[in-house]
Chain A
Amino acid sequence: QVQLVESGGGLVKPGGSLRVSCEASGLTFSDYYMSWIRQAPGKGLEWVSYISSNGNIIYYADSVKGRFTISRDNAKNSLYLQMDSLRAEDTAVYYCARFYMTTADYWGQGTLVTVSS
């Protein structure tokens, strides 16, 4: 079955950087768009970014554009989110999800990113 496992979350100071990763198994990773979705504590879901199967098409939410970079390594079945210039409002659980026909059909368990001094 499809499994998505995020890692790399943690505590970082405002203005700092962090890279979170997602390792996929149980699917032909290179066939699918992938996405990052986040959820601030006690809040709803927010789509952060998604990337096409070969990495040529990338979208970002306005809230992270210019600060976050999504990438993937199909040889390693891995998805990444490089987060720079982090702000307190970026504090959230970051979920990796398979993106298929405009929906997130499989989700990881999430990794918590806390931005605080």
Chain B
Amino acid sequence: QSVLTQPPSVSGAPGQRVTISCTGNSSNIGAGYDVHWYQQLPGTAPKLLIYRYSSRPSGVPDRFSGSKSGTSASLAITGLQAEDEANYYCQSYDSSLSGHLVFGGGTKLTVL
């Protein structure tokens, strides 16, 4: 059980908007530590999608955006496309953990 909680699955039709939440506590997101998001397409290694809550690495479409509120962060995907079907993971720093780094449990996005 991760200290960062994500919904196991979300789904949406092509063209729709979906959001994935990542809920933490006062030792991680609530303490102001950065949240990052990764996309893992089937059979591939994870890829950095969003860093420091809302910044996109070069090459990531602006359909992907991130935000934070209190002890939670969210990833939003607009204009959903079939190739967005993947697992998404949030990640942060936690002051209460040995090593301090933690991933959320992951969310499977299904494009209907």
Contacts and interface: CB of A to CB of B under 8 A. Distances in A.
Contacts, number: 67
Contacts of B33: 102
Nearest to B104: A44
A95 B46 contact: yes
B103 A103 contact: no
B36 A102 contact: yes
Nearest to A93: B45
Chain A, interface size category, equals: 20 to 34
Residue with the greatest number of chain A CB neighbours at <10 A, chosen from B2, B48, B92: B48
B42 interface: no
A101 B99 contact: no
B106 A45 contact: yes
Given A50-B99, A60-B98, A101-B51, A44 B106 contact: yes
Interface in B6-49: 33-34, 36, 38, 44-48
Interface residues of B, number: 27
A28 B74 CA distance: 33
A102 B46 contact: no
18 contacts: A44-B104, A45-B38, A45-B103, A46-B103, A49-B99, A60-B98, A62-B98, A95-B45, A95-B46, A102-B33, A102-B36, A102-B101, A103-B34, A103-B48, A104-B38, A104-B46, A107-B47, A109-B45
